[in-house]
Amino acid sequence: MALIVQKYGGSSVADTDSIKRVAKRIIDTKRKGNKVAVVVSAMGDTTDDLIDQALSIDGNPPEREMDMLMTAGERISMSLLAMAIHAAGDRAHSFTGQQAGFLTDARYGAAHIKAVRPDRVKQALSMGDVAIVAGFQGINEDGDPTTLGRGGSDTSAVALAVALGADICEIYTDVDGVFTADPRIVPTARRIPHIDYDSILEMASCGSKVLALRCVEYAQRFKMPLHVRSSFSHRPGTLIVPEGVDPRTLPNID
């Protein structure tokens, strides 16, 4: 039995129909005999909408209150996804970043993860439930919510996978993996089946938006295999694996 962490971005959970589709995919993964923990982003443009609302009220809002507000989007996604899994006949339990044990420094808006203690997530998995965690957020030593900055849900997913000792971390997006160029702009762009950490780090540092830089750095440091794939298809994506690991031995890659 493999333990898989799946991360779904905002485009994958943009509306209720999308959330239902994601719920089915999660259940299918679980029914193959896997334990599944999930990290979700806010739905669609929710985060941008919240920022716009905040700035329409206060042109220079307090950083603490902005982080308090920013954590709301992922909480909506996690609870709706848990409901969708329940409606589809399975069990799920949702957790905020705090409840999932994400401890950060006090840098509002761009916090760094200091530790992940996912005791409640482990308990849910041991009961056979899908554990759903709100990405992009944690809690500082004062007990205040913090956010990890843009791309923070990717980092949340990798950090959770490492803390749980997962076999792989799957990053679901709206494209079929990592390409030689943006396939939405360059029709002849080719998918890269396998890539090493250093190459994807270089791509991220040069502005590629497929994966957040901190996410890849975290994965490389702890040798966590990544699978970047689309939530809108079942085609294989791009595997990012440590040196010496045969990609064919990883779970749920077909």
Q: Could you give the domains of the chain? A: 3-249 (3.40.1160.10)
Poorest-pLDDT segment among 42-51, 102-111, 223-232, 241-250: 241-250
pLDDT, tens digit, 9 for 90 and up, residues 205-221: 776 677 888 899 999 99
pLDDT tens-digit series, residues 226-236? 999 999 999 98
pLDDT at 184: 79
User: What residues contact 206, with CB distance under 8 A and at least 6 apart?
Assistant: none
pTM score, whole prediction:
0.95
Residue pLDDT, tens place only, 131-143? 999 999 999 999 9
Degrees (nearest 5) of the Cα angle 146, 150, 152? 60
Q: In the chain, where does DSSP find H-type helix? A: 16-31, 46-57, 63-87, 119-126, 152-164, 197-205, 213-222
Of 25-34, 47-56, 190-199, minimum mean pLDDT range: 190-199
